[in-house]
């Protein structure tokens, strides 16, 4: 009887071992299938296989981790959070899981939690370049420019061509005021990935600020080639062409920007400038009006709308618009000069003189200040 009992124990153990082996092999197959689908970009197809692998082998860390990545990319932050926390429950010192957790927390606007997660990941594995880069991006957003520079620099030390770290370092250096170094790292980001549009866009902005319009134009054209729906690139390029006298080229780009984003206030404003330059005053008035509906307090738009209304012969409306601009920004000389001009045309010299003197006192526009002084002298008044 004892021998029979031992036989049954051995048989049960053998059966359990065989079942465990079968489950492990099935988990391997499910996990492999999930990874194949993930690599092909079929994330929705991969998720059920990851879940099956985990069901068969709940301790399989890689499956939990990869499931979290897939869910995060699919926008399921709750599922991703649960997956990464499962990894950390099974292995609290899993550095990559802490880094991925930081991504999820940041996407859920838990910035402090994300910073803690990235710092913990780096403590566990100082060689995680992506964690350094992501930490740098958050610190930049928090206004810690020096912290961002340090984190991104470390990421680049670990991975020379880390595109995001190069890009973020460029932004941080620009914020610090080192535009030359900023341009250098933005160029390196583009060299590492010529299709990385954010780096090209930031470089284009920087180049134009530094007076290099020709290269800025080249960057914007490249951006539009890479991303034909980039409305800001169309707008900015249109503005540069307008400033260089290519009004026809500017109009085409600005109109395209508004096709892509009809609620783009700055593009409406720039389009108004181009129409006004061409003498298409009614269209300019419409464009400035659209800009103000989207951005009601923009003083420069009021100023140019007043000029357009004046050019159209609508003095009453122009006066109201100029007065509104002055109420919004009393120290802005532009609308005061436009208002003074109309008042002088209407024969109200006393009110016009008052506005010209205000322009001289304000002193924010040397050109208008000199013109006001000349006009006052011509009127027989002392500037």
pLDDT tens digits for 51-62?
A: 999 999 999 999
Residue among 131, 67, 66, 144 nearest 105 (CA) = 131
- For residues 22 and 43, what is the distance between their CA atoms, to the nearest angstrom? 26
pLDDT reported for residue 19: 56
- For residues 228 and 226, what is the distance between their CA atoms, to the nearest angstrom? 6
pLDDT reported for residue 381: 84
Beta-carbon-side half-sphere exposure of residue 218 (alpha carbons within 13 Å): 4
Task: Name the band, by pLDDT with cuts 50, 70 and 90, for residue 21.
Answer: low
Q: Are 242 and 268 in contact (CB under 8 A)?
A: no
Q: Which residue has the tokens 């990874």?
A: 35
Q: Are 53 and 30 in contact (CB under 8 A)?
A: yes
Instruction: Supply φ then ψ for residue 160, to 5 degrees.
Output: -55, -40
Q: Which residue has the tokens 């492990």?
A: 24
102 is a domain residue: yes
CATH number for the domain that contains residue 115: 1.25.40.10
103 is a domain residue: yes
148 is a domain residue: no
User: Tell me: the pLDDT tens digits for 102-152?
Assistant: 999 999 999 999 999 999 999 999 999 999 999 999 999 999 999 999 999
pLDDT reported for residue 342: 96
**Angle value at C-alpha 319, between 318 and 320, nearest 5 degrees:** 90
What is the SS3 assignment for 91? coil
Q: Per the structure block, which two tokens stand in for 289?
A: 């009006």
64: pLDDT strictly greater than 60: yes
63 is a domain residue: yes
Per-state percent for the chain, helix, strand, coil, to nearest 5: 80, 0, 20
What is the SS3 assignment for 109? coil
116 is a domain residue: yes
173 is a domain residue: no
168 is a domain residue: no
- For residues 197 and 223, what is the distance between their CA atoms, to the nearest angstrom? 6
pLDDT reported for residue 24: 81
6: pLDDT strictly greater than 80: no
Count of domains for the chain: 1
Count CB atoms within 10 A of the CB of residue 346. Answer: 12
Give Cα separations from 287 to 56, 270, 292 (angstroms).
63, 8, 9
Query: Domain containing 121: what range?
Result: 24-125
- For residues 23 and 140, what is the distance between their CA atoms, to the nearest angstrom? 48
Give Cα separations from 74 to 31, 118, 131, 295, 350 (angstroms).
18, 22, 21, 35, 68
308 is a domain residue: no
Cα dihedral value 30, 36, 37, 41, nearest 10: 150
User: Tell me: the pLDDT tens digits for 323-337?
Assistant: 999 999 999 999 999
Beta-carbon-side half-sphere exposure of residue 124 (alpha carbons within 13 Å): 17
* pTM of the full structure: 0.86
Spell out a b/e string for 90-108, using b for 16 or more CB atoms within 10 Å of the CB, else e.
Answer: eeeebbbbbbbbbbbbbee
Give Cα separations from 57 to 28, 31, 84 (angstroms).
9, 10, 16
- For residues 276 and 138, what is the distance between their CA atoms, to the nearest angstrom? 43
């Amino acid at each position: 009887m004892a021998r029979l009992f031992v036989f049954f124990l051995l048989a049960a153990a053998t059966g359990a071992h065989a079942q465990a082996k079968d489950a492990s092999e099935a988990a391997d197959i499910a996990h492999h299938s999930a990874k194949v689908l993930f690599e092909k970009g079929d994330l929705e197809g991969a998720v059920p296989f990851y879940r099956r692998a985990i069901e068969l082998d709940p301790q399989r860390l890689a499956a939990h981790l990869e499931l979290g990545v897939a869910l995060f990319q699919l926008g399921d932050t709750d599922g991703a959070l649960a997956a990464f926390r499962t990894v950390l429950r099974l292995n609290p010192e899993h550095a990559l899981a802490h880094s991925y957790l930081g991504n999820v927390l940041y996407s859920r606007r838990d910035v402090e939690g994300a910073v803690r997660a990235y710092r913990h990941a780096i403590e566990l594995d100082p060689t995680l370049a992506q964690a350094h880069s992501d930490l740098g991006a958050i610190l930049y957003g928090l206004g810690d420019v020096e912290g961002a520079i340090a984190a991104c620099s470390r990421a680049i030390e670990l991975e020379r061509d880390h595109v995001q770290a190069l890009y973020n370092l460029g932004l941080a250096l620009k914020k610090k005021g080192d535009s030359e170094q900023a341009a250098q790292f933005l160029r390196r980001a583009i060299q590492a990935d010529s299709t990385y549009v954010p780096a090209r866009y930031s470089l284009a902005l920087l180049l134009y600020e530094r007076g290099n319009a020709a290269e800025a134009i080249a960057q914007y054209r490249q951006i539009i080639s890479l991303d034909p729906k980039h409305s800001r690139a169309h707008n900015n390029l249109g503005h540069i062409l307008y400033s260089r006298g290519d009004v026809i080229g500017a109009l085409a780009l600005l109109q395209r920007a508004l096709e892509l984003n009809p609620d783009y206030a700055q593009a409406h404003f720039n389009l108004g400038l181009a129409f006004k330059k061409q003498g298409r005053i009614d269209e300019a008035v419409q464009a400035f009006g659209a800009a103000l509906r989207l951005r009601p307090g923009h003083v420069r738009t009021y100023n140019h709308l007043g000029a357009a209304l004046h050019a159209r012969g609508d003095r009453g409306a122009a006066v109201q618009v100029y007065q509104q601009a002055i109420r919004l920004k009393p120290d802005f000389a532009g609308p005061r000069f436009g208002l003074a001009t109309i008042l002088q045309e209407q024969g109200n010299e006393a009110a016009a003189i008052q506005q010209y003197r205000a322009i001289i006192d304000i002193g924010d526009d040397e050109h208008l200040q000199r013109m006001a002084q000349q006009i006052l002298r011509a009127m027989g008044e002392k500037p």
